[in-house]
Amino acid sequence: MKHYDIIIAGSGAAGLSLAYHLSRSPLRERSILIVDKCAKDCNDRTWAFWADQPTPFESIVYRSWNRLQVVGDDLDASVDLRDYRYQMIRGIDFYAFVRQELAAFTNIIFLQGVVERIEDGADAARVIIDGQAYTAEWVFDSIFKPSEIRDELADCEYLKLYFKGWEIETDAPIFNPDAATLMDFRTPQKNETRFFYVLPFSPTRALVEFTVFSAARFSQRAYEQALRDYLADTLGVSDFRIVAEESGVIPATDYDFTRQLGRRVMTIGTKAGRVKPTTGYAFLRILQDSAAIVASLVANGHPFDVPADRRAYRWLDAVMLRVMRRHGEQLKPIFTALFRRNPIERIFRFLDERASLWESLRLIASLPPWTFMRTAFQMRSTPQTQVQPQPQARSTTPITERLAGGSI
């Protein structure tokens, strides 16, 4: 039975980010196995995110914008991001970059295979991959399967963020490559929260993406019709070529994801609740989590001492998710007010969960109050079944981008 110091299940953003941070730490000589059922040799997703500090992946940023547009029926705002930049990284570039960096380490091994199960142990955990057992001192699991927590989700707010994007090319100059469209609400809401975003690469090329928070399944035909209607009726684009496509589903839930699955197993990525439930952004949150895990390993000899999520933000996420589920069409004026009445730095700090109490109060006070107040009161007066941790898990402190194209 082959033994490693660390096994990482999944080689998406979370798995590769953790491996990259380990390779840049005093733990760089530890033996690491990274396993995934996919080869990660195609561009299956993109990540977009705002940042006011450089990340370790500046060299592979595909596009960067210093202005954002937010558009609604009575709003057309072009916002200077000042110290921030809105950036996009393609999945294929991220996979290739990290794999190339890790190739210099003979102690880091990639294995393509299916993780069948993970078993905790007192001194080591076992990972069964295609019928073969491997052991490790620490196992980090990023493989998220909603079916595993289906019963617990019944007591939570749970929506899905569906999206489908076309990278298109036009003959005529249509797009402004200096500004990305973060949200365009000029589409029928149909009792849900729906919007488009546009990432322009040149005057004739852009990624146009349709996004909807919904409790129901969304058909490919509905995706395509929404995209064609938006391009033709809103942007005035009738002649275009689809260069590439991407689509996916992100869980949007206030479920309290367990970080520590026993003595030797820890969750990362989507499975660890690193996706911001009310926005779908995850990339920077994953980078922060990877750094915290490595810091805990170095300082304490275990990975579990990571910063806790701030309860106030988790409560606000839960309120917003309930508003989305019950009054989805009302999010359109709420987001319009958010961007009309607040400077972009305050919005970003609030969404990054870094805002001061005063900033948070000012931002919340700028929004239409009645829907939130009614929903918050209903949540307080409605008994909620407490979700119990898995039997083998003891509690730990969790930590606190848009993902396009799949789970993390």
State mean pLDDT over 266-274. Answer: 97
7 and 135 both lie in a single domain: yes
**Residue 407: count of CB within 10 angstroms of its CB:** 23
Count of structural domains within the chain: 3
Q: Average pLDDT in the 89-101 region?
A: 97
Is residue 357 assigned to a domain?
A: yes
Is pLDDT of 404 > 60? no
Q: So what's the pLDDT on residue 379?
A: 67
Say if 407 falls within a structural domain: no
226 domain residue, yes or no:
yes
pLDDT at 2: 96
> Hey, how many other C-beta atoms are within 10 angstroms of the C-beta on 162?
23
Question: Which residue is associated with the tokens 């930049």?
Answer: 85
Same domain, residue pair 241 and 356: no
Average pLDDT for 237-244: 96
Residue 103 lies in a domain: yes
pLDDT (0 to 100) of residue 155? 85
Query: Does 283 score more than 60 pLDDT?
Result: yes
Please work out, in degrees rounded to the nearest 5, the angle formed at the alpha carbon of residue 380 by the alpha carbons of 378 and 386.
115
* pLDDT score recorded for residue 198: 98
Q: What is the pLDDT of residues 158-206, one digit of tens each?
A: 999 999 999 999 999 999 999 999 999 999 999 899 999 999 999 999 9
Q: Is residue 107 part of a domain?
A: yes
Please state, in angstroms and rounded to a whole number, the distance separating the CA atoms of residues 80 and 57.
23
370 in the same domain as 327: yes
Same domain, 7 and 126: yes
Give the percent of the chain with pLDDT over 90.
75
Please report whether residue 130 resides in a domain. yes
248-253: average pLDDT: 92
Q: Which is it for the CA torsion 301, 97, 12, 182, positive or negative?
A: positive
Average pLDDT of the segment spanning 298-309: 96
Task: Average the pLDDT over each of 203-212, 287-296, 336-345, 375-384 and give the range with the smallest value.
Answer: 375-384
Among 166-180, 232-246, 289-303, 386-400, the range scoring the smallest mean pLDDT is: 386-400
Same domain, 130 and 264: yes
| Mean pLDDT for all residues in the chain | 90
CB 23 within 8 A of CB 108: yes
pLDDT of 377 reads 67
HSE-up (13 A, CA, CB side) for residue 144: 23
Residues 9 and 113 in one domain: yes
Q: Indicate if 22 and 135 belong to the same structural domain.
A: yes
Q: How far is CA 324 from CA 71, 294, 334, in A?
A: 19, 36, 11
Q: Answer yes or no: is pLDDT of 351 > 70.
A: yes
Are 134 and 1 spatial neighbours (Cβ–Cβ below 8 Å)?
Answer: yes
pLDDT of residue 144: 94
Kindly report which listed range (117-126, 151-160, 274-283, 367-376) carries the lowest average pLDDT score.
367-376
Same domain membership, residue 264 and residue 236: no
- The percent of the chain in helix, strand and coil, each rounded to the nearest 5, is 30, 30, 35
Q: Among 204, 231, 246, identify where a domain stops.
A: 246
Does a structural domain hold residue 397?
no
Do 165 and 204 lie in one domain? The reply is yes
Q: For position 275, what pLDDT does the model report? A: 96
pLDDT tier at 381, thresholds 50, 70, 90: low
Average pLDDT over residues 277-300: 97
Q: Which of 263, 278, 310 is the last residue of a domain?
A: 310
Residue 395 lies in a domain: no
The domain boundary residue, chosen from 203, 221, 246: 246
pLDDT band at 32 (very low <50, low <70, confident <90, very high): very high
Give the range among 131-140, 189-198, 269-278, 363-372 with minimum mean pLDDT. 363-372
Q: How confident is the model at residue 223 (pLDDT cuts 50, 70, 90)?
A: very high
Are 206 and 266 contained in the same domain?
no
Residue 402's pLDDT is 38
pLDDT score of 95 more than 70? yes
Domain range enclosing 184: 160-246
**Which residue from 27, 38, 36, 39 is spatially nearest to 138, judged by alpha carbons?**
27
Pair (59, 115) in one structural domain: yes
Assess whether pLDDT exceeds 90 at residue 350: yes
Q: 185 and 140: one domain?
A: no
The CATH number of residue 55's host domain is 3.50.50.60
Q: What is the CATH number of the domain that holds 186?
A: 3.30.70
Average pLDDT (265-289) is 96
Say yes or no to pLDDT of 261 above 50.
Answer: yes
Rounded average pLDDT over 88-106: 97
Per-residue pLDDT of 311-343, as tens digits, reads 999 999 998 999 898 888 888 888 889 999 999
Sign of CA dihedral 288, 278, 66, 80: negative
Residues 102, 94: Cα–Cα separation, whole Å = 12
- DSSP H helical ranges for 167-282: 220-229
Name the band, by pLDDT with cuts 50, 70 and 90, for residue 399.
Answer: very low
Give residues with Cβ within 8 angstroms of 354, minimum separation 6: none
